[in-house]
Structure formats: C-alpha cells, structure tokens
Amino acid sequence: MSPTVDIGYFALCLSLAAAAYALFACGLGAYSQHDGLVRSGENAALAHFGLLTLAVACLWYLLLTGNFQVQYVAETTNSALPMLYLVASLWGGQNGSIMFWGWLLAFFTVLILVANRHRYRSLMPYTVAVLSATSCFFVSMSLFAADPFKLLPFAPVDGNGLNPILQHPLMAIHPPMLYSGMVGLSVPYALAVAALLSGQLDSMWLRASRRWLLVPWMILGVGLLLGGKWAYVELGWGGYWAWDPVENASLMPWLAGTALLHSMMIQERKGMLKMWNMILVFLTYGMTIFGTALTRSGVIESVHAFARSQVGPFFGFYLSSFILFSAALLWIRRKELRAESKLEAFASRESAFLLNNWILLGMLFAVLWGTSFPVISEAFTGEKITVSAPFFNQVNVPIGLILLLLTGAGPLFTWRRTSTQSLKRNFRLPLTAMVVAGVALALFGIVDFYALISLSLCVFVAAAIGLEFHRGAAARQRSTGESYVRGIYGLLSKSRRRYGGYLVHLAMIMLFVGFTGQAFTVDREVVLRYGESAQIGRYTLTYESLAYGEDANKTVTMAALTLLKDGEVATTLLPQRHFYKVADQGTTEVSIYSALREDFYVVLVGAADDNSAKFQIYVNPLILWVWLGIIAFLLGTVWCLWPSSRERRLADEDRARTRRSETAPGWLPEIGLSTAGPPGG
C-alpha cells in the first residue's frame, strides 16, 4: 500500500478541520468585530485550499501511477488508458468529482479573498464564512460518503477503465468547465449572504458580485455548449442537446443566473428589486446544489436510489438547511430590502426587465418541472414514466420564442417611461424587417410554423440591435464629430456593459438560428457496397473502403467515403466505430462535413464481410451557427467583463489609497506584493 493514500486521506481530513475553523473564526470574528479572529479564519481558508490541493495531487498521483488497490482508481481507469484520460479521470467518477468540486470551491474562496481583500473588506469575513460552510459540506461528503481514497481489500491486476463514451478530448475540458461555472456561482451567493448578515444592504454587494456572477455564468454557458458539441460528435444521434437530466441540471442555474444578470441592473440604477435579486441569487446557488443532488444521488433513476445512495442524505440535509437559512435571513431583513423608487410607467425598461425575468424563470420552471416529474410521479403513484426530449422541445420552443421576442423588444424601451411616439419610432424598423424577412422566408419555401417565427424573430432582434448601434453611433457623430465606425467602436468601448450586452444578444441570435435548423434535419439510412453511391439532396456519397486498426485500449473499424457536393468533391469522410476492450463496449466516431449552410453527418452503423456497410446519415442545416454562437457568446461576455479605462483608473486609485492607509499589513500573504520585510516593521 502506498503512503500516498494516507497522505491524501489525512490532507482531506485536515482540510475539513481548516474549513470548519475558517467558518467558525470568520463568522465569530465578523460578529464580534474581532479583526485578529477574522484574519486567522481567512488564513485557515488559505490552509484549507493548500491541504485540499495536496489531497487532489495525491489522488492524481494514484491515478497516474495506476494504483488499482484504490477503489476509485480501479473503477475509473485501467492501465491502457491514455494519459489525457488518466488526468481527466479525476473528475470522471462520482467520488473524485465531489472532491474536485470541493477543491474548485476552495480555489474560488482564495481568489475572492486575494482579489477583494481591500476593496470590499467589510463583506469579506462573512463571505469567507459562507464559502467555508459550503466547503465543509462538500469535504465532509467526500470524507464520509464518497471517499476517493477508499481501498479495496485486494489489489486488482487492472482497473475497469473510464466509460468509453467519456474518452473524448472534449470530456477532458467540458466537466471542469461546468464544475467551475457551478462552483463559481457560490461566490455571488456568499456575497449576498454577507450583505444580509452584515446589514450592508445598499448595492455594494451587487457591484462586488457582478464579475463573480458574470465569469462563472460565462464558463457555465460555454461548458453547456461544449457538452452539446461532445454529444454531437460522440453519441452519434445527430443532435447536440437531449434534455438529459444532467444537461438540465446545469442549464437551470444558468437560466437563473441570466435572470439575475438582467434584474441586478434595475437595482443598480433604480434601487428597486432588492428583495427579488436576493431571491434570484439564492435560486441560482440553490439550483447548482439541487442540480448536483439530482444527478449525483441517483434519484432520477429511481426514487429509492436516493435513500440508498450515500450522498443523497447529505444533499437532502444541506438543501433543506440552505432553504431554511435563506428564508429566515430574507425574512429578518425584509424591511431593509424595500424599493427606493417607484415605477413611473408600464411601458419602460424596468417592466421589460421584469418580463425578461418572467420568461427566463418560466423556462427554468418548465425544465425543473419536466426533470423532476418522473421522480414525483414515481413517489406518488409508483408509476415510472419518462420525460424526455419530445416533452422539453414542445414545451420550451414556445417559451424560447417569447424569450427571443423579448430579447429584441426589451432594449427598445427606455428607462423610466417610453412615449408612444418613441415606441412607434423604435419598433417601426425592426418590425418591418421582421415582416419582410418572414414573407421572404415563406416564399423561399420555409413553411414550418415555429421555424418561420423563429427566423423572423431573429431578424427582428438583429434589426433592433442594429438600430441601437446605429442611433448611438449617429448621436456620437453629431456630438463629437467622429466618424461612424469610430463612433461604433466608441460605443463599444465606452459603454462596455450596454453594448457588450448587445454583442451577447447577437450571439443568442446565432444560437437560435442554429437551434432552428433542427426543424429541417434530414435523416437517412443507407446500405452501400464498395464503390456504390447514394444521393442525398445535393450530396453524393460514395463508399470507398473499410480499414481496421487496433491499439492497447481499443479496436477501430473505419470506413472511407467520398462526398460530392453539387457534383464536386467536398471531402473524404472517415466515420469509425471503436470497440473498447476492457469495458466490452462500442462507441461511434462520427465524421462530419461542416459548412455554414448545413452539416453532413455520417455514422458507421455496421460493416459486413461482403464489402457492404450500413450508414446513418443526417443533414443538419445551420448547426455550425451553434458553435459560432459559442464563440460569439464568449467574446461578447469578455467584452462586458473587460474593465473600461475609467474603471481601471478607479481601481488604480483605490489600490494606491488602500496601500497608503494600510495600517496593519501582513494579515494575509499578499501574493507577490508584500514580501519586502517583516510586517509592521
């Protein structure tokens, strides 16, 4: 037996003690205004991170060296597994991923502590206490219900291997992204609780949380879509989103976070919705925990699995105490969370934001409802039912279309009130564009009801955003005399939040265009012999040959096909089937020819000895727009996040001021800043 197991296990135990101490010291220190205690607690949070890092490093070492006596290593890896997947198997199984989750949380705690140790000093003690409480929960679950260092009574010769469908490069980055996004959303929650506990209920906590919300939200969004990309290239059913409970579990906090991102703007500008924003931040965090509980406890498979699973009761306890705690906190502070101003007109940006919240939460509710309905049904009637993609598509398509409409319409309303004339002026062009586009699309033969509405609405939103940019640039041109193009750049760089937000909306249009393409998917199955061709729309597919290969991990069967598009050679497609020896399980490796208009997607279903093979073919229109949409989403959000020159100046001044007035240095190892000598000297 390796000492690494013991070191890892003890580091995990000690990290729990450190987190518990951080919770206690920061909480008590903040309550009694005892600076020394707070600092000690914050140092404990750092120690917690260090110890957990050691535990993670130990597990990584055990995975990489193939110590199969450790149950987790034996269950998730085997000796033939390539390096990349050995590294990724840290989060490939339940017990490892729970510890990894805890590690990410500790990492975020350290991040916020280092980043905000001066700026939002008064919020930090409670923030660290709340994050440490969450850490305590995850680490104790890791220790008592999902021990990754648990030993088998014997040392098997080899492990079971990572589930073959997870053996894909995207799987090495998609789960850590999702986890970072989900875990990161604990930070705004912690800041909100800190504001409630300390009674600093102005908008400071919101300002402090904006980036801590935006970054995890962005990572979660990209992670979701990368998961879709993985499903598209790995699962071989031609689509990217199956409304699987695991997918839904990460979509729900993203939707709640999206609602919060919008409604927090009302509070910043108008001092309204204070209570509501608190509820939303709790909902967002609660959804990350609830989603994890849903997918980790096995409750989806069967209600009875929940009680049997070891982590189930942990989640149940944590979720119920979280709900009680939040509700009590909000109740106590309810009077201090009143709105500072009133609504001046129904036709205003404020109302539009509320409608945005309504539809986003409506969608969240629909997803939550559909995901939990089988559980509820089984619990109450004993009957198992399935709620899968057809349900979610039918329910969410209309909701999504309303959301799209509001994406375009919302920004056309001005703050406070919008006069009828300006409404007319604002809506005239986008509506005209929408109608023209709708008629044109119908004439082009797009008669699918939802698709027609969706694409017309995309034009509406694009026109509305275009109009915003145009008016802004024209106004700048008039007032400053700069050129139109410079004007647009000026808008983008001076009002990063507003116009960056529009960039994200544009990314959403791209995504919706991509989603709409699904309505026109062509699905064909063909059997071809060597040299035979099949005609699918404007494509000609010719089966050329079949090849076999093998490595330590798997055997590979690969077909070669030539694809002609409108009679000209487009590409050679190489769909494969892999067969994983240890898992005794096959996977498909699809081959895709991708263009802006459509994807040509081929799956090798099977091959026979008489030189014939069966192929499943999908022609997926517009799907590339989904992947381009991810990139646009990422760029737009980064644009919003990037500090403006004014903000950088303010931050610099802030920093200079605090450095001058810092009277008691050395409470925290100021990374790279204060290593010059003994503190206080």
411-470 residues in contact with other proteins (CB under 8 A) are 414-417, 419, 421-422, 425
Segment 141-170, which members bind other proteins (CB under 8 A)? none
Helix (H) or strand (E) holding 560: strand 554-565
Segment 2-41, which members bind other proteins (CB under 8 A)? none
Query: Of the listed pieces 16-24, 92-100, 233-241, 622-630, which binds other proteins according to CB under 8 A?
Result: 233-241
In the bound complex, what is the minimum distance in angstroms from residue 591's beta carbon to other proteins? 14
**Which listed residue (498, 635, 638, 670) binds other proteins by CB under 8 A?**
498
In the bound complex, what is the minimum distance in angstroms from residue 652's beta carbon to other proteins? 13
In the bound complex, what is the minimum distance in angstroms from residue 540's beta carbon to other proteins? 19
Closest by Cα among 361, 343, 180 to 260: 361
Burial class (CB in 10 A: 0-12, 13-18, 19+), 508: buried
In the bound complex, what is the minimum distance in angstroms from residue 579's beta carbon to other proteins? 5
DSSP classification of residue 70: B
Q: For residue 345, give both structure tokens.
A: 């007109």
Which residue's CB is nearer to other proteins, number 317 or number 484?
A: 484
Q: For residue 34, give both structure tokens.
A: 């005892």
How far are the Cα atoms of 507, 524, 629 from residue 504, in angstroms, in the given order? 5, 36, 9
Q: Note whether 387 binds other proteins by CB under 8 A.
A: yes
- Helix (H) and strand (E) counts in the chain: 21, 10
* Ordered DSSP codes for 73-121: HHHH--TTS-HHHHHHTTTTSHHHHHHHHHHHHHHHHHHHHHHTTTTTG
Segment 624-663, which members bind other proteins (CB under 8 A)? 644, 646-647, 650
Query: Of the listed pieces 87-95, 312-320, 361-369, 404-412, which binds other proteins according to CB under 8 A?
Result: 361-369
Q: Distance between CA atoms of 364 and 360, rounded to whole angstroms?
A: 6
Q: Distance between CA atoms of 56 and 62, rounded to whole angstroms?
A: 10
**Which listed residue (606, 642, 658, 679) binds other proteins by CB under 8 A?**
606
Q: Distance between CA atoms of 242 and 170, rounded to whole angstroms?
A: 17
Segment 543-582, which members bind other proteins (CB under 8 A)? 548, 550, 555, 557, 577, 579
Query: Of the listed pieces 67-75, 154-162, 375-383, 673-681, which binds other proteins according to CB under 8 A?
Result: 375-383
Which residue's CB is nearer to other proteins, number 537 or number 606?
A: 606
Which residue's CB is nearer to other proteins, number 479 or number 663?
A: 479
**Which listed residue (105, 607, 630, 632) binds other proteins by CB under 8 A?**
607
Q: Note whether 384 binds other proteins by CB under 8 A.
A: yes
In the bound complex, what is the minimum distance in angstroms from residue 481's beta carbon to other proteins? 14
* Ordered DSSP codes for 435-493: HHHHHHHHHTT---HHHHHHHHHHHHHHHHHHHHHHHHHHHHHHHH---HHHHHHHHHH
Which residues have C-beta within 8 Å of that of residue 611, sequence separation ≥ 6? 529, 530, 546
**Which listed residue (14, 17, 204, 354) binds other proteins by CB under 8 A?**
354
Q: For residue 288, give both structure tokens.
A: 């990350």
Which residue's CB is nearer to other proteins, number 407 or number 588?
A: 588
In the bound complex, what is the minimum distance in angstroms from residue 232's beta carbon to other proteins? 12
Segment 307-346, which members bind other proteins (CB under 8 A)? 335-336, 338-344, 346
CB atoms within 10 A of CB 162: 25
Q: Distance between CA atoms of 180 and 556, rounded to whole angstroms?
A: 34
First to last CA, the chain: 49
Q: Note whether 603 binds other proteins by CB under 8 A.
A: yes
Query: Of the listed pieces 112-120, 134-142, 367-375, 537-545, which binds other proteins according to CB under 8 A?
Result: 367-375
In the bound complex, what is the minimum distance in angstroms from residue 650's beta carbon to other proteins? 7
How far are the Cα atoms of 74, 133, 163, 252, 592 from residue 554, in angstroms, in the given order? 18, 44, 12, 36, 22
Q: Distance between CA atoms of 578 and 553, rounded to whole angstroms?
A: 10
In the bound complex, what is the minimum distance in angstroms from residue 18's beta carbon to other proteins? 36
- The whole-angstrom distance between residue 460's C-alpha and the CA centroid of its chain comes to 27
Q: For residue 99, give both structure tokens.
A: 């510890």
In the bound complex, what is the minimum distance in angstroms from residue 34's beta carbon to other proteins? 29
Q: For residue 368, give both structure tokens.
A: 């939550």
Closest by Cα among 183, 219, 179, 176 to 89: 176
Q: Note whether 244 binds other proteins by CB under 8 A.
A: yes
Is beta strand 576-580 parallel, antiparallel or unpaired with respect to 568-573? Answer: unpaired
Which residue's CB is nearer to other proteins, number 272 or number 458?
A: 272
In the bound complex, what is the minimum distance in angstroms from residue 264's beta carbon to other proteins? 13
Which residue's CB is nearer to other proteins, number 48 or number 262?
A: 262
Which residue's CB is nearer to other proteins, number 144 or number 365?
A: 365
Q: Distance between CA atoms of 470 and 474, rounded to whole angstroms?
A: 6
Query: Of the listed pieces 321-329, 393-401, 562-570, 659-667, which binds other proteins according to CB under 8 A?
Result: 393-401
Q: Note whether 235 binds other proteins by CB under 8 A.
A: yes
Q: Note whether 533 binds other proteins by CB under 8 A.
A: no
In the bound complex, what is the minimum distance in angstroms from residue 115's beta carbon to other proteins? 16
User: Total binding residues for other proteins by CB under 8 A?
Assistant: 91
In the bound complex, what is the minimum distance in angstroms from residue 606's beta carbon to other proteins? 4
